[in-house]
């Protein structure tokens, strides 16, 4: 009996302990009662916030990424983009019927006097230097009697025309003002399809506006817009009023002058064209230094070779140009070039098409002698031609 009492006490203590443990597990740690042979228990570490790409671009997870915002680029370029306001005085008759001889017989010119009106238009421009030179489109200021430039900081100045070049649709203006901003000029030859492009201008006169896109193509020609075409195509929205404004890259450098849009509705449809800054800069330099642009000229009309034309002339490719017209007493005529000749190279360099040939010829200084090579009646020929300066409004293109 003496042994049974301690044993009973021990057993009671064990039972009470097990009961207390069961109650604790049931109420405090119920998940310990669950068991699934197919579940592996793991201990998770607290999640860390994911890394975000750098705001100004750089390398992220080993991959180069662009900036999240282009505000720095816009802030760098926008002060140099200006609004161009033009005014032109036009004269119109009160009514065309008053020019009728019967009315003239009874009333003379008393009722048919002309009325003068002021026609205004809006465009954009870019301050190229702190000396006040503004680059814009020729069609923005063409025929204007007065030109006013409104700066981004609110100042306004009257502009004078330094010179224009209708063949590239470039015009250079000059304003007098202190502390003028100037845009940083980039290199349009380094552009690649897919590069970021931002258009800054004054569309529809609403005020300075920035639109975003990419470079869709480079070297666009055969558009029938200008005599000399080498356009940057972009899907950055360009609308009426943007003409003459800036096309900049992701760092705020000027890469082009917005010039035209392809549109059936009059608004932007994602196909805009800008004059490459390298081309515009060369034209601007000549205008500032000489007052006009000097280009080489041969006095010819040329057209691209089609596959059918190339076969008919016995050519293996369509590279080259067909001479369709020669101006009498012009440089090419004096050298003996004839309509129907096919020019395949200039100074030994192959020319792909009329745009390439036109560019090579225009870059020659007047009085330079060049050698044209090609095919005449299935036989090769070479001619030396002395280049002349391209006349204003030349009847023949090259």
The CATH number linked to 320 is: 2.30.42.10
Q: Is 174 considered catalytic here?
A: no
Degrees to nearest 5, angle at CA 163 with 160 and 167? 140
Query: Hey, what long-range contacts does 303-307 have (CB within 8 A, 24 or more apart)?
Result: 303/354, 304/353, 304/354, 305/342, 305/353
Give the count of domains, the chain.
3
pLDDT reported for residue 358: 87
pLDDT reported for residue 134: 96
Q: Is residue 340 part of a domain?
A: yes
Q: Is residue 380 part of a domain?
A: yes
pLDDT reported for residue 213: 93
Q: Is 222 considered catalytic here?
A: no
Q: Is residue 53 part of a domain?
A: no
Which range marks the domain in which residue 345 is found?
296-389
**In CATH, what number is assigned to the domain containing residue 204?**
2.40.10.10
Instruction: State whether 239 and 206 are in the same domain.
Output: yes
CB 188 within 8 A of CB 273: no
Q: Which of these, 100, 72, 397, 51, lies nearest to 210 by C-alpha position?
A: 72
Residue in 169, 216, 235, 259 annotated catalytic: 169
Q: Is residue 193 part of a domain?
A: yes
pLDDT reported for residue 39: 43
Q: Is 169 considered catalytic here?
A: yes
Instruction: State whether 169 and 194 are in the same domain.
Output: no
pLDDT reported for residue 393: 58
Q: Is residue 21 part of a domain?
A: no
Q: Which residues of the chain have pLDDT under 70?
A: 1-66, 92-115, 263-268, 392-398
Instruction: State whether 148 and 167 are in the same domain.
Output: yes
Instruction: State whether 317 and 266 are in the same domain.
Output: no
Q: Is residue 13 part of a domain?
A: no
Residue in 85, 121, 124, 139 annotated catalytic: 139
Instruction: State whether 276 and 318 are in the same domain.
Output: no
Instruction: State whether 270 and 327 are in the same domain.
Output: no
- Report the C-alpha gap between 128 and 107 in whole angstroms: 56
Instruction: State whether 267 and 194 are in the same domain.
Output: yes
Q: Which of these, 372, 364, 326, 329, lies nearest to 348 by C-alpha position?
A: 372
Instruction: State whether 157 and 227 are in the same domain.
Output: no
Per-residue pLDDT of 317-351, as tens digits, reads: 888 899 999 999 999 999 999 999 999 999 989 98
Strand arrangement of the beta sheet that strand 81-93 belongs to: 156-158, 146-150, 81-93, 114-127, 133-137, 170-174, 160-165
Residue in 188, 243, 259, 362 annotated catalytic: 243
Instruction: State whether 82 and 160 are in the same domain.
Output: yes
Mark which of 174, 197, 219 sits at the end of a domain.
174
């Amino acid at each position: 009996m003496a042994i049974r009492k301690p044993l009973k006490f021990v057993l009671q203590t064990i039972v009470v302990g097990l009961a207390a443990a069961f109650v604790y597990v049931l109420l405090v740690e119920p998940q310990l009662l669950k068991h699934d042979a197919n579940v592996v228990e793991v201990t998770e570490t607290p999640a860390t916030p994911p890394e975000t790409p750098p705001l100004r671009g750089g390398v992220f997870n080993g991959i180069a990424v662009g900036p999240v915002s282009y505000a720095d680029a816009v802030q760098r370029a926008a002060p140099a983009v200006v609004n161009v306001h033009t005014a032109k005085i036009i004269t119109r008759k009160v009514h065309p019927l008053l020019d009728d001889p019967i009315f003239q017989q009874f009333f003379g010119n008393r009722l048919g006097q002309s009325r003068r009106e002021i026609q205004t238009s809006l465009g954009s421009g870019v301050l190229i230097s702190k000396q006040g030179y503004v680059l814009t489109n020729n069609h923005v200021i063409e025929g204007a009697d007065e030109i006013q430039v409104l700066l981004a900081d609110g100042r306004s100045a009257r502009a004078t025309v330094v010179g224009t070049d209708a063949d590239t649709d470039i015009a250079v203006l000059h304003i007098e003002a202190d502390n003028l901003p100037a845009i940083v000029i980039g290199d349009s030859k380094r552009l690649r399809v897919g590069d970021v492009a931002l258009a800054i201008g004054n569309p529809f006169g609403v005020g300075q506006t920035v639109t975003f896109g990419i470079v869709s193509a480079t070297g666009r020609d055969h558009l029938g817009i200008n005599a000399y075409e080498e356009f940057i195509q972009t899907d950055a929205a360009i609308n009426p009023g943007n003409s003459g404004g800036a096309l900049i890259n992701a760092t705020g450098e000027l890469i082009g002058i917005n010039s035209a849009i392809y549109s059936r509705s009059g608004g932007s449809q994602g196909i805009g064209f800008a004059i490459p800054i390298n081309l515009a800069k060369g034209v601007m330099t000549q205008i500032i230094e000489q007052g006009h642009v000097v280009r080489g000229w041969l006095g010819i009309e040329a057209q691209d070779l089609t596959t059918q034309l190339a076969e008919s002339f016995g050519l293996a490719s369509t590279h080259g140009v067909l001479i369709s017209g020669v101006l009498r007493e012009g440089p090419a005529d004096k050298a003996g070039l004839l309509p129907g000749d096919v020019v395949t190279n200039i100074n030994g360099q192959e020319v792909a098409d009329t745009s390439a040939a036109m560019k090579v010829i225009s870059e020659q200084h007047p009085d330079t002698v060049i050698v044209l090579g090609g095919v005449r009646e299935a036989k090769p020929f070479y001619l030396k031609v002395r280049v002349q300066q391209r006349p204003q409004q030349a009847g023949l293109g090259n």
